[in-house]
Every structure is written in structure tokens, then in C-alpha cells.
């Protein structure tokens, strides 16, 4: 399970300043993670996800945005959408103990391999 601290989680999104900065910051790294878990693993998966997301909020100040979506038609299908301040913030995230434990804990629950997609911001201004 992911490490747990007693600090209050900080919000990752919703700040007007962060949203304004998003359009102007070309250094941000955008990524998605898509995965499917076995139906019998769903309750345990949600517990692991909640602990992982709390840890990201508490210990990764340069992770600007990290949200986990659950498919309404298939509750075993998840999509994570994330933004990192720069390449270093992404490296901090993927090399963290919490991330390694998250992948390890989730690994046995997966129905198929995870899909990671790196994205760039398409600006329509």
C-alpha cells in the first residue's frame, strides 16, 4: 500500500492562478494513464487509488494536476490525467516509493497492460 502521512492534502487543481498559468507554461509535461482491473479487484483497487492520490497531493508539490476518472459504463476502466511542472517533477513522481508501490499493488489486478500516453498542449488561441 502507498505511504501515508498525517499532513492535510493540498489541492492539485482548481486554483485560478494554476489554470491561468496552464495556458502560458510551455514546460509542463502532460500524461495520461489508462488501465482496466479485474471486476473482483475493484474494491481493493479503489482503496489503493485513494491512498495513492492522497500521497501525490501531500508529497508532490510540482505535480500540478492529477485526477483519476472511472468509466461510467465500465467501472473497472480508469483514466488518470496529470500535468507536471517540468521533466524533473515527472521524474520525481515516477521514481517515488508511492508510485512504485501503486504499480506493484495494482499489477496483479490488471486485465490488460496499462497504457501511458505523453501529450502536448494544443493551443487554439
Domain at 32, CATH number = 3.30.70.100
- The answer to whether position 83 is within a domain reads yes
Question: Cβ neighbours of residue 14 under 8 Å, at least 6 residues apart?
Answer: none
> In this predicted model, what pLDDT tens digit does every residue of 7-60 receive, in sequence order?
444 444 444 455 455 545 667 999 999 999 999 999 999 999 999 999 999 999
Mean pLDDT across 60-83: 96
Residue 83: which domain range?
28-119
| Structural domain count of the chain | 1
Chain centroid to CA 103: 12
Q: Would you state the pLDDT for residue 120?
A: 85
Distance in Å from the first CA to the final CA of the chain? 43
Distance CA 50, CA 1 (A): 10
Amino acid at each position: 500500500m502507498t505511504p501515508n502521512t498525517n499532513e492535510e492534502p493540498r489541492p492539485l487543481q482548481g486554483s485560478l492562478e494554476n489554470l491561468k498559468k496552464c495556458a502560458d507554461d510551455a514546460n509542463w509535461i502532460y500524461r495520461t494513464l489508462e488501465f482496466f482491473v479485474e471486476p473482483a479487484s475493484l474494491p481493493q483497487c479503489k482503496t489503493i487509488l485513494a491512498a495513492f492520490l492522497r500521497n501525490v497531493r501531500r508529497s508532490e508539490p510540482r505535480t500540478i494536476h492529477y485526477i483519476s476518472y472511472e468509466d461510467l459504463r465500465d467501472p473497472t476502466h480508469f483514466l488518470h490525467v496529470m500535468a507536471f511542472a517540468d521533466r524533473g517533477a515527472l521524474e520525481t513522481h515516477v521514481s517515488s516509493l508511492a508510485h512504485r508501490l501503486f504499480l506493484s499493488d495494482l499489477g496483479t489486478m490488471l486485465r490488460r497492460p496499462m497504457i501511458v500516453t505523453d501529450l502536448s498542449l494544443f493551443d487554439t488561441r
